[in-house]
Amino acid sequence: MTDEKPGYRLLTGEDTHDFCVRVSKALAEGYVLYGSPAATFDPNTNRMLVAQAVVRPDFPKSD
C-alpha cells in the first residue's frame, strides 16, 4: 500500500459540521474543489446527504 494521496477524491456524507471539516481538511492538504457540490435529501432517514469532489492541482486532466 502506498501513502501517496490520490489525485481525485469524492467526499460524501451527511450535511453536518463534520463534513465541512473534512472538506476543509482536504483543502488544507492541498486539494482544490472540483465542480459543484451535490446534495440530496433521503426521506427514509430524514437526512441531507452531500458530496464534493476535490483534486490535487497537479492531477492530469483528461482531454
- The residue ranking higher by pLDDT, 62 or 49, is 49
pLDDT bucket at 59, cuts 50 / 70 / 90: confident
pLDDT surpassing 60 at residue 1: no
pTM for the whole structure: 0.83
User: Would you state the pLDDT for residue 2?
Assistant: 59
Greatest Cα pair distance, the chain, in angstroms, is 40
Strand order in the sheet with 47-55: 8-14, 47-55, 32-42
pLDDT surpassing 80 at residue 60: no
Tens-digit pLDDT profile for residues 2-42 = 568 899 999 999 999 999 999 999 999 999 999 999 999 99
Cell of 11: 467526499
DSSP labels, 35-53: EEEEEEEETTTTEEEEEEE
